């Protein structure tokens, strides 16, 4: 009997439970909202997605409540069912009246507020406040201020509005106190630190942020170390760890790199294989920039790939892929390299995006590119395009990268630049060995109107020289790759270069230039100027006194330049050759024909050790009349160190006046190298040797000294790219000279600008 009763009770319980669980819905006849002040009823109904006159399950009603909270409009919400009436009780979130940031000096209001979610007339939520507080904190960390503390304050206003105040205590920038290297046996800590971008804090690094900790920079440093070791042959190199430890006061970091250098490898077998049957492998092998037995260098491998791609492009193979297959012989410490040439994917340029050019027109950058939309992608042309944009001299940083697009056979080109200052308004003063004390006022805009035009004007006033000039150059005249410009100038020289007379020149010069090929350019100039000689000393040479005092020169000049340097701004490798011709007599009283051949070669043979060799040779011919002494060649000063300006020349033995020569040559070998100071100083040492001579004055008489004997000097110097301007100091000792030559041991020039 008891079991039967239990069974009956179970059936009743299940029926009751199932009846409630299977209850289909609740009919809602009306929806009433309480507590809303500024938010319209329609807006709230749109959030809950419930309508009067319909039946809803408890799950749907619960979801409506979740939707209210998810909208971010309400600080609190509650749903209540009274029969068939749904009551919605809400409390609206405040509206932001204003956002104020206090205590921020390192980061401007504009930068910080641009990153915040909370802004005037937007809804305030606690989540947004927390996120914005953290975002400000993160921005200061990116700036290197890990000790920065951000405290938010909420000030309530009438009409359910709030003011938000972020109180910032910036603290000091978190500097890198010490960098440790563990496991380095082949290279010193100082050498490795010079390789990476992060630096230990020093008093003189006030003009750089390299000693401020940056986590992104730390990742970049790891790549720099890896690249450095691979370039020096350590093919097994690994970075075991790179740890940055913050001190308890959050003001300093200690960074430790743990390295495993491994052994240094030589180059073993070097081969080229190709999927193209008609390619001459022997011809391509000449492009390999290293050989068996050399120390292995990843840089040499990359350079060879570029040379091979360039040569294959010249042979008509637009879509090629050169892959180096590297096999390490760990027992012999050899790296065998095979360059595999195969057909690459046919990829075309889709879009070219330029980022960072706030002042410079897109067209100024695009016209320097060798790739355009629709062209076949060519990595070598991409590299050349990057160099051309850098050579403009308008940008601190230039990076061209290939980006995937929505279409598999197309790629985008992304051009990221960081603009440099191209305008200059300067007031300067200084001293040079040629001019003595000088003052300088100069205006220049090298990217005038953002169109790449070069506008310039200046006044220079020195003891022996005064110059006034104005000029403008348009690099793409008439929207063609044709440079055109002009210069107007006035020059007054008083006993300049120890001359026995004063000179005043007024002139106008017109110029035009263009590229004949990728590396060959041509420049034409037309110059007309008047030249007046005054205050000629009575004791001056009779040859000077016989010269005309007033002259007019009208002539045309021509320069042909073949330039294969890696950079026109700061070359480290490559060479350039230039031929210059100048002929006068197109009107005026001065008639001569000058020809000059010059060349320079740059070679980097160890890190920042750069060897420059240069030479010039010139010949001058009078056209039907005797040439003026002022137009002839003289050497000294910058053109032949160790000798005073104008110190090398045929001379009058009696008066010591320079008579100039119709022929000259000069040559320089100069090595620039680091001297152990931090890179931030921008100081390099230099060792040099100059040679040269000028002769054949064509003056006759027993007092004429004219000898083509070679003059030579050796010396050393300093090169400093200082914040106030370039400083160059050279100390030279003559080792070959004539008795009438005028020497000068120290040559320097300095100009400060503010």
Sign of CA dihedral 586, 588, 593, 598: negative
> Of 95-104, 349-358, 529-538, 646-655, which gets the smallest average pLDDT?
529-538
Burial 480-516 (b: 16+ CB within 10 A, else e): eeebbbebebbbbbbebbebbbbbbbbbebebbbeee
* pLDDT the model gives residue 440: 62
Please give the Cα distance from 279 to 301 (Å, whole number): 20
Please give the Cα distance from 589 to 427 (Å, whole number): 38
Confidence of residue 664 (pLDDT cuts 50, 70, 90): very high
Share of the chain above pLDDT 90, in %: 36
pLDDT higher than threshold 60 for residue 671 = yes
pLDDT higher than threshold 50 for residue 23 = no
Residues 646 and 501 in one domain: yes
* pLDDT the model gives residue 665: 97
Residues 375 and 415 in one domain: yes
Q: Residue range 180-201: average pLDDT?
A: 90
Residues 219 and 75 in one domain: no
Range of the domain at 272: 266-343
Residues 451 and 317 in one domain: no
Sign of CA dihedral 220, 225, 230, 231: positive
pLDDT higher than threshold 80 for residue 364 = yes
DSSP type of residue 635 = B
> For residue 666, what is the enclosing H or E element?
strand 663-674
Q: Which of 699, 698, 696, 690 is nearest to 734 (CA)?
A: 690
Share of the chain above pLDDT 70, in %: 90
For the chain, the farthest-separated pair of C-alpha atoms sits apart, in whole angstroms, at 156
* pLDDT the model gives residue 495: 60
- β-pair type (54-56, 711-722): unpaired
Residues 192 and 156 in one domain: no
pLDDT higher than threshold 60 for residue 4 = no
* pLDDT the model gives residue 594: 96
CB-CB neighbours of 535 under 10 Å = 10
pLDDT higher than threshold 50 for residue 740 = yes
Q: In which region does residue 660 sit, left (phi positive, over 0), alpha (psi from -120 to 50) or beta (all else)?
A: left
Question: Rg of the Cα trace of the chain?
Answer: 38
Please give the Cα distance from 736 to 747 (Å, whole number): 18
- Look at the chain and report how many structural domains it folds into: 6
Confidence of residue 424 (pLDDT cuts 50, 70, 90): low
Residues 612 and 738 in one domain: yes
Residues 314 and 369 in one domain: no
Residues 70 and 196 in one domain: no
Half-sphere exposure in the Cβ direction for 615 (13 Å, CA): 3
Of the ranges 207-216, 262-271, 644-653, the best mean pLDDT one: 262-271
Q: Which of 729, 726, 728, 720 is nearest to 753 (CA)?
A: 726
> For residue 224, what is the enclosing H or E element?
helix 215-231
Q: How far is CA 408 from CA 92, 349, 350, 413, 719, in A?
A: 50, 11, 11, 14, 50
Please give the Cα distance from 589 to 310 (Å, whole number): 51
**Residue 616, both tokens:** 């010039």
Q: Which of 223, 239, 260 is the last residue of a domain?
A: 260
pLDDT higher than threshold 50 for residue 739 = yes
Residues 72 and 208 in one domain: no
Q: Which of 324, 343, 362 is the last residue of a domain?
A: 343
Residues 125 and 41 in one domain: no
pLDDT digits (tens, 9 = 90+) for 524-535: 999 999 988 877
pLDDT higher than threshold 80 for residue 570 = no
Q: Could you tell me where the DSSP H helices lie in 459-572?
A: 542-545
Q: Which residues partner with 430 through β-bridges? A: 438, 751
Confidence of residue 676 (pLDDT cuts 50, 70, 90): confident
Supply the CATH number for residue 294's domain. Answer: 3.10.20.310
Residue of higher predicted confidence among 49 and 135: 135
Confidence of residue 674 (pLDDT cuts 50, 70, 90): confident
Q: Which of 569, 577, 573 is nearest to 599 (CA)?
A: 577
The set of long-range contacts for 505-508, using a CB threshold of 8 Å and a minimum separation of 24, is: 505/529, 505/530, 505/531, 505/532, 506/530
> Of 69-73, 218-222, 237-241, 431-435, which gets the smallest average pLDDT?
431-435
Q: Residue range 330-356: average pLDDT?
A: 88
> Of 215-229, 315-329, 570-584, 712-726, which gets the smallest average pLDDT?
712-726
* pLDDT the model gives residue 752: 35
Q: What is the dihedral of CA 178, 182, 188, 190, to 10 degrees?
A: -10
Look up tokens 């005028």; give the residue: 742
For residue 730, count CB atoms less than 10 angstroms from its CB and return exposed for 0-12, middle for 13-18, buried for 19 or more: buried
Q: Residue range 713-740: average pLDDT?
A: 84
Residues 429 and 415 in one domain: no
pLDDT higher than threshold 90 for residue 357 = no
Residues 62 and 111 in one domain: no
Phi, psi of 681 (to 5 degrees): -70, -30
Contact between residue 497 and residue 503 where contact means Cβ atoms under 8 Å apart? no
* pLDDT the model gives residue 108: 87
Q: Which residues contact 572 (CB under 8 A, 6 or more apart)?
A: 566, 602, 604, 610
CB-CB neighbours of 553 under 10 Å = 22
Look up tokens 């040079």; give the residue: 432
* pLDDT the model gives residue 274: 87
**Residue 480, both tokens:** 């063609």
Q: Which of 137, 169, 201 is the last residue of a domain?
A: 169
> Of 290-304, 451-465, 466-480, 648-662, which gets the smallest average pLDDT?
451-465
DSSP-based three-state secondary structure for 111: helix
Half-sphere exposure in the Cβ direction for 499 (13 Å, CA): 25
Please give the Cα distance from 733 to 670 (Å, whole number): 15
DSSP 146-175: TT-EEEEEEEEETTTEEEEEEEEE-----E
Q: Which residues contact 21 (CB under 8 A, 6 or more apart)?
A: none
């Amino acid at each position: 009997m008891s079991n039967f009763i239990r069974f009956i009770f179970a059936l009743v319980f299940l029926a009751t439970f199932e009846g409630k669980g299977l209850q289909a819905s609740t009919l809602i006849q009306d929806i009433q909202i309480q507590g809303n002040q500024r938010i319209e009823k329609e807006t709230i109904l749109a959030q809950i997605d419930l309508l009067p006159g319909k039946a809803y399950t408890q799950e749907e009603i619960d979801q409506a409540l979740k939707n209210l909270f998810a909208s971010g409009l309400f600080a609190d919400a509650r749903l209540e069912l009274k029969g068939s009436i749904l009551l919605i009780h809400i409390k609206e979130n405040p509206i932001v009246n204003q956002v104020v940031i206090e205590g921020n000096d390192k980061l401007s209001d504009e930068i910080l507020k641009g990153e915040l979610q909370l802004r005037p007339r937007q809804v305030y939520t606690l989540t947004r406040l927390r996120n914005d507080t953290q975002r400000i904190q993160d921005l200061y960390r990116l700036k290197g201020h890990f000790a920065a503390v951000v405290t938010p304050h909420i000030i309530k206003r009438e009409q359910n509005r709030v003011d938000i105040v972020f109180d910032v205590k910036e603290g000091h920038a978190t500097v890198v106190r010490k960098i440790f290297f563990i496991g380095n046996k082949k290279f010193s800590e100082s050498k490795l630190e010079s390789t990476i971008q992060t630096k230990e804090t020093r008093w003189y690094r006030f003009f750089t942020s390299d000693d401020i900790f940056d986590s992104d920079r730390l990742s970049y440093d790891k790549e720099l170390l890896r690249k450095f070791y691979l370039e020096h042959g350590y093919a097994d190199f690994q970075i075991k760890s790179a740890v940055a430890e913050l001190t308890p006061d959050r003001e300093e970091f200690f960074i430790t790199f743990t390295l495993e250098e491994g052994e240094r490898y030589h180059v073993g077998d070097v081969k080229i294989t190709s999927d193209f049957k008609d390619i001459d492998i022997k011809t391509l092998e000449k492009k390999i920039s290293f050989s068996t037995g050399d120390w292995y260098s990843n840089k040499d491998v990359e350079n060879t790939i570029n040379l091979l791609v360039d040569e294959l492009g010249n042979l008509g193979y637009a879509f090629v892929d050169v892959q180096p297959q590297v096999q390490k012989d760990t027992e012999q410490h050899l790296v065998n390299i095979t360059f595999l040439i195969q057909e690459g994917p046919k990829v075309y340029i889709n879009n070219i995006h330029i980022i960072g050019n706030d002042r410079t027109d897109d067209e100024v950058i695009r016209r320097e590119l060798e790739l355009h939309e629709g062209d076949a992608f060519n990595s070598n042309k991409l590299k050349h395009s990057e160099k051309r944009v850098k050579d403009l001299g308008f940008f601190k940083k230039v990076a061209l990268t290939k980006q995937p697009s929505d279409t598999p056979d197309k790629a985008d080109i992304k051009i990221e630049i960081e603009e440099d200052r191209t305008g200059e308004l300067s007031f300067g003063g200084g001293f040079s060995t040629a001019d003595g004390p000088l003052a300088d006022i100069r205006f220049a805009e090298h990217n005038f109107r953002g169109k790449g035009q070069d506008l310039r004007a200046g006044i220079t006033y020195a003891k022996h020289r005064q110059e006034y000039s104005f000029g403008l150059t348009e690099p793409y005249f008439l929207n063609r790759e044709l440079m055109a410009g002009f210069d107007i100038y006035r020059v007054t020289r008083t006993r300049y270069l120890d001359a026995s007379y004063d000179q005043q020149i007024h002139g106008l010069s017109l110029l035009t230039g263009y590229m004949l090929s990728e590396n060959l350019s041509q420049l034409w100039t037309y110059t007309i100027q008047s030249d007046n000689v005054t205050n000629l000393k009575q004791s001056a040479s009779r040859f000077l006194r016989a010269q005309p005092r007033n002259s007019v020169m009208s002539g045309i000049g021509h320069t042909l330049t073949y330039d294969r340097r890696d950079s026109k701004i700061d070359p480290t490798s490559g060479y350039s050759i230039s031929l210059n011709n100048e002929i006068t007599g197109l009107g005026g009283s001065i008639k001569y024909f000058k020809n000059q051949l010059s060349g320079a070669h740059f070679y980097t043979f160890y890190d920042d050790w750069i060897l420059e060799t240069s030479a010039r040779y010139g010949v001058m011919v009078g056209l039907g009349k005797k040439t003026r002494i002022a137009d002839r060649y003289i050497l000294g000063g910058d053109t032949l160190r160790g000798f005073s300006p104008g110190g090398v020349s045929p001379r009058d033995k009696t008066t010591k006046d320079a008579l100039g020569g119709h022929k000259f040559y000069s040559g320089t070998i100069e090595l620039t190298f680091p001297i152990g100071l931090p890179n931030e100083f921008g100081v390099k040492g230099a060792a040099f040797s100059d040679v040269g001579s000028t002769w054949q004055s064509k003056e006759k008489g027993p007092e004429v000294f004219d000898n083509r004997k070679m003059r030579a000097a050796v010396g050393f110097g300093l090169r400093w790219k200082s914040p106030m301007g370039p400083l160059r100091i050279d100390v030279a000792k003559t080792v070959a000279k004539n008795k009438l030559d005028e020497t000068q041991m120290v040559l320097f020039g300095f100009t400060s600008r503010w």
